């Protein structure tokens, strides 16, 4: 993309309405624009990161064998009356009537709809286990939306639902989600720690939240420092293998890690003092086994091996896709702007032309642009007639991990400058070597799709 043809409305001033850094940086970098309280337009740069995150979630769900589909945003109130949640959900649920006076609502979550699809189409234990999920816009009418996309009203979420014949199978599905989520977050450059969560009004026994450590997090968290040494890394997991998934769960959840909602001071004090940490965290996901709550209420059963109707054990498992943009920025920025992890960066490399209009500099930038594009990478080329300082400031603000600076002086020596956003380190090297280096950096993030 050439910046002269893109729509990147960066702001020079700090917007006064933003209280936390991710909100401020998303506004300043031209990623979002507020349309109403807690409702945002996703400007091109913001939308591009949103799609990258969405794609990683889809790819990791596919790896775990989960099946994508999509529910409508609007639903009939009837299903929620069946489950008993229509009256209890409160004012966070946005309700409306259609032109025929039928009660409708904007889905804040989708247990009812998925259970409805399940009971309509699944009859036999032979069709289990089954995990269906969607990534879809949800709405919760927060009384006081704040922190930009971190606590908006309209938000983009992955919600998955597991259907199993026994509690044992359902807990394997739970563990499989935990493993899959660890991989998912790491691909986005995040360390998200599973912490024991409170099951709340939805009911249920087993639930973990995934929290990203950040000073601006909304939750206070208490954990054993050893946890932060754990890496999921490149390990090959067979998602059907009960023992493998269980072992990962134990590895990542055996140490103390709780939010203020479930914190137990006495237990925490059993952790050696030098390893106890109190910090703040941002919730970016939750896994939840809740048994037969919805399947019973809505009459979802399957015929068991004995020919009799058997109960269905369910869980629901969520990732806050739009919220992740905020969490990633909270965890990865400096005083000059965002620092995108390679896995989610909107463009792979920035090209800064120090002397737009100079034939040699222009030609060198065009050649770099072509090389990256031919390699399937997306460069952002700042081809505006602006001063170098302004161009650098924009690149730093929007946070591309790598920048190539092209100027007449370097070109005389046959080199361009390659700069790492995170470390600030620069090196001079011939253009084709810079291209090769960038291609290698992104090789692990490449996927083929149709």
- Which residues from 424-443 bind a copy of itself, rule CB under 8 A? 442
Answer for which of 26, 130, 178, 349 binds a copy of itself (CB under 8 A) is 130
Number of residues that bind a copy of itself (CB under 8 A): 69
**291, 49, 90: which is closest to 189 by C-alpha?**
49
Contact between 102 and a copy of itself per CB under 8 A: yes
Contact between 48 and a copy of itself per CB under 8 A: yes
| Cα separations in angstroms, 56 against 234, 254, 447 | 15, 27, 10
Contact between 120 and a copy of itself per CB under 8 A: yes
Helix, strand or coil, per DSSP, at residue 269: coil
Answer for which of 16, 36, 236, 413 binds a copy of itself (CB under 8 A) is 36
Contact between 334 and a copy of itself per CB under 8 A: no
**52, 181, 127: which is closest to 449 by C-alpha?**
52
Of 51 and 355, the one with the shorter C-beta distance to a copy of itself is: 51
Interatomic CA distance for residues 325 and 21, integer angstroms: 12
Strands 402-406 and 309-310: unpaired
Helix, strand or coil, per DSSP, at residue 290: strand
Structure tokens at 285: 């996901």
Interatomic CA distance for residues 435 and 136, integer angstroms: 37
Of 107 and 206, the one with the shorter C-beta distance to a copy of itself is: 107
Of 70 and 413, the one with the shorter C-beta distance to a copy of itself is: 70
Contact between 113 and a copy of itself per CB under 8 A: yes
Task: Supply the minimum distance, in Å, between the C-beta of residue 409 and a copy of itself.
Answer: 28
Q: b or e along 360-394 (b: 16 or more beta carbons within 10 Å of the residue's beta carbon)?
A: ebeebbbebbebbeeeebebbbbbeeeeeeebbbb
Q: CB of 84 within 8 A of CB of 111?
A: no
Partner residues linked to 311 by β-bridges: none
Task: Supply the minimum distance, in Å, between the C-beta of residue 91 and a copy of itself.
Answer: 5
- Which residues from 149-208 bind a copy of itself, rule CB under 8 A? 153-154
Interatomic CA distance for residues 372 and 384, integer angstroms: 19
Of 132 and 400, the one with the shorter C-beta distance to a copy of itself is: 132
**47, 15, 19: which is closest to 31 by C-alpha?**
47
Task: Supply the minimum distance, in Å, between the C-beta of residue 137 and a copy of itself.
Answer: 6
With CB under 8 A as the contact rule, which of the stretches 128-136, 182-190, 275-283, 433-441 interacts with a copy of itself?
Answer: 128-136
Of 2 and 225, the one with the shorter C-beta distance to a copy of itself is: 2
Contact between 236 and a copy of itself per CB under 8 A: no
Helix, strand or coil, per DSSP, at residue 334: strand
- Which residues from 384-423 bind a copy of itself, rule CB under 8 A? none
H, E, C per residue of 362-374: HHHHHHHHHHHHH
Site track for a copy of itself across 56-75, x = CB under 8 A: ---------x-xxxxxxxxx
Q: CB of 131 within 8 A of CB of 139?
A: no
Interatomic CA distance for residues 100 and 304, integer angstroms: 41
Interatomic CA distance for residues 89 and 61, integer angstroms: 29
Contact between 445 and a copy of itself per CB under 8 A: yes
Task: Supply the minimum distance, in Å, between the C-beta of residue 401 and a copy of itself.
Answer: 13
Site track for a copy of itself across 355-374, x = CB under 8 A: --------------------
| Cα separations in angstroms, 445 against 125, 181, 303 | 38, 17, 43
Task: Supply the minimum distance, in Å, between the C-beta of residue 40 and a copy of itself.
Answer: 6
Answer for which of 116, 164, 186, 396 binds a copy of itself (CB under 8 A) is 116
Of 130 and 282, the one with the shorter C-beta distance to a copy of itself is: 130
Task: Supply the minimum distance, in Å, between the C-beta of residue 325 and a copy of itself.
Answer: 12
Interatomic CA distance for residues 290 and 167, integer angstroms: 10
Phi then psi dihedrals of residue 270, to 5 deg: -75, -20
Answer for which of 55, 244, 262, 336 binds a copy of itself (CB under 8 A) is 55
- Token pair 């020596």 in the structure block, residue: 413
Answer for which of 3, 18, 21, 42 binds a copy of itself (CB under 8 A) is 42
Sites of contact with a copy of itself (CB under 8 A): 5-7, 9, 30, 33, 35-36, 39-44, 46-48, 50, 52, 55, 65, 67-76, 79, 91-92, 94-96, 98-99, 102, 104, 106, 113, 116-117, 120-122, 127, 130, 132, 134, 137, 139, 141, 143, 153-154, 348, 376-378, 442, 445-450
């Amino acid at each position: 993309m050439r910046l002269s043809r893109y729509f990147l409305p960066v702001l020079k001033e700090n917007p006064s309405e933003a209280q936390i850094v991710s909100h401020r940086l998303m506004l300043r970098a031209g990623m979002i624009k507020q349309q109403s309280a807690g409702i945002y337009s996703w400007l091109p740069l913001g939308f591009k990161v949103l799609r990258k995150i969405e794609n990683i979630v889809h790819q990791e769900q596919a790896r775990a064998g989960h099946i994508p589909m999509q529910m409508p945003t609007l639903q009939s109130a009837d299903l929620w009356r069946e489950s008993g949640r229509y009256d209890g959900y409160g004012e966070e649920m946005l309700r409306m009537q259609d032109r025929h006076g039928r009660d409708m609502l904007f889905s804040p979550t989708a247990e009812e709809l998925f259970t409805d699809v399940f009971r309509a189409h699944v009859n036999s234990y032979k069709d289990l286990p089954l995990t269906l999920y969607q990534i879809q816009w949800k709405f919760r009418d927060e009384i006081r939306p704040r922190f930009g996309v971190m606590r908006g009203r309209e938000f983009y979420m992955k919600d998955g639902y597991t259907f199993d014949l026994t509690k044992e199978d359902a807990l394997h599905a739970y563990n499989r989600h935990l493993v899959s989520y660890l991989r998912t977050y790491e691909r986005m450059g995040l360390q998200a720690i599973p912490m024991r969560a409170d099951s709340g009004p939805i009911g249920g026994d087993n639930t973990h939240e995934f929290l990203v450590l950040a000073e601006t997090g909304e939750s206070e968290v208490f954990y054993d420092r050893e946890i932060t040494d754990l890496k999921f890394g490149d390990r090959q997991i067979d998602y059907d293998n009960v023992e493998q998934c269980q072992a990962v769960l134990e590895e990542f959840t055996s140490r103390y890690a709780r939010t203020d909602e479930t914190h137990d001071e006495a237990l925490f004090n059993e952790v050696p003092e030098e390893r106890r940490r109190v910090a703040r965290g941002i919730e970016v996901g939750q896994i939840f086994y809740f048994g037969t709550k919805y399947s019973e209420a809505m009459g979802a059963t399957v015929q068991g091996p004995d020919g009799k109707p058997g109960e269905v054990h369910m869980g629901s498992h969520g990732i806050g896709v739009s919220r992740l943009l905020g969490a990633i920025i909270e965890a990865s920025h400096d005083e000059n702007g965002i620092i995108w992890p390679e896995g989610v960066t909107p463009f792979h490399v920035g090209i800064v032309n120090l002397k737009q209009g100079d034939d040699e500099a222009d030609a060198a930038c065009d050649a770099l642009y072509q090389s990256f594009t031919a390699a399937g990478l997306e460069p952002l080329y700042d081809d505006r007639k602006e001063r170098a300082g302004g161009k650098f400031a924009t690149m730093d603000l929007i946070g591309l991990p790598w920048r190539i600076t092209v100027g007449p002086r370097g070109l005389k020596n046959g080199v361009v400058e390659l700069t790492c956003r995170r470390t600030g380190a620069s090196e001079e090297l011939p253009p084709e070597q810079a291209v090769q280096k960038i291609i290698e950096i992104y090789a692990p993030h490449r996927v083929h799709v149709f």
